[in-house]
Chain A
Amino acid sequence: MSDAANTQTPASSINAKNILLFALVALLFVGTGFVQSWNTALTIFNMGLISAIMALGVNMQWGYAGLFNVGVMGFVALGGLAAVLVSSDPVPEAWALGGPRILLGLVLGAATILAAILAYSRLPAGRLRMLAILVILIGGFAIYRAVIGPGVEAVEAYEPASTGFLGGLGLPVVLAWPVGGLLAAGAAWIIGKTALGLRSDYLAIATLGIAEIIIAILKNEDWLARGVKNVTGIPRPVPYEVDLQASESFLNFANSLGADPVSASTITVKLAYAGLFIVVLGVLIWLVEKAWNSPWGRMMRAIRDNEVSASAMGKDVKARHLQIFILGSAVCGLAGAMMTTLDSQLVPGTYQPLRFTFLIWVMVIVGGSGNNWGAVLGGFLIWWLWVQVEPLGLLLLQGLTAGMEEGAFLREHLLDSAAHMRLLTMGIILLLVLRFSPRGLIPER
Chain B
Amino acid sequence: MDVLNAIVALANFVIIPATAYGAQLALGALGVTLIYGILRFSNFAHGDTMAFGTMVTIFVTWGFQAAGIGFGPLPTALLALPFGIAATALLAIGTDATVYRFYRTQKAKPVIFVIASLGVMFIMNGIVRFLIGVDDQRFADGERFIIGARDFREMTGLEEGLAFRTTQGITIVVAIIAVVLLFWFLNRTRTGKSMRAFSDNEDLALLSGINPERVVLITWIIVAALATTAGVLYGLDKSFKPFTYFQLLLPIFASAIVGGLGNPLGAILGGFLIAFSEVGVTYAFRKVVGYLGPEDWQPEGLLQLLSTDYKFAVSFGILLIVLLFKPTGIMKGKSV
A→B interface (CB under 8 Å): 66, 68, 70, 141, 149, 194-195, 198-202, 204-206, 208-210, 212-213, 216, 219-220, 352-354, 358, 361-362, 365, 416-417, 420-428, 430-431, 434-435, 438
Contact = CB atoms under 8 A, between A and B. Distances in A.
Contacts of B320: 194-195, 206
Given A208-B249, A434-B112, A361 B123 contact: no
- Please provide the 4 A-B residue pairs with the shortest distance between their CB atoms, ordered closest to farther: A427-B122, A424-B126, A423-B126, A427-B123
Contacts of B182: none
B83 interface: no
Interface stretch (B141-149, B158-166, B309-317): B309-317
Given A212-B250, A423-B123, A219 B112 contact: no
Given A202-B257, A424-B122, A431-B99, 4 more contacts: A201-B336, A205-B257, A358-B118, A362-B122
Contacts of A416: 133
Contact of A194 (B102, B125, B250, B324): B324
Contacts, number: 129
Interface of B: 41-42, 44, 99, 102, 110-112, 114-116, 118-127, 129-131, 133-134, 243, 246-247, 249-250, 253-254, 257, 261, 301, 305, 307, 309-310, 312-313, 315-316, 319-320, 323-324, 327, 335-336
A149 B304 CA distance: 12
B34 to A, nearest CB: 15
Given A216-B309, A420-B130, A205 B115 contact: no
Contacts of B42: 201, 204-205
B316 A420 contact: no
Contacts of A434: 112, 115-116, 119
A212 B247 contact: yes
Given A417-B133, A421-B130, A424-B127, A216 B310 contact: yes
A426 B310 CA distance: 30
A149 B305 CA distance: 12
B120 A435 contact: no
Contact of B316 (A204, A213, A427): A213
A199 B327 CA distance: 9
A417 to B, nearest CB: 5
A205 B319 contact: yes
B120 A431 contact: yes
A428 B123 contact: yes
A174 to B, nearest CB: 32
Nearest to B256: A205
A200 B250 CA distance: 16
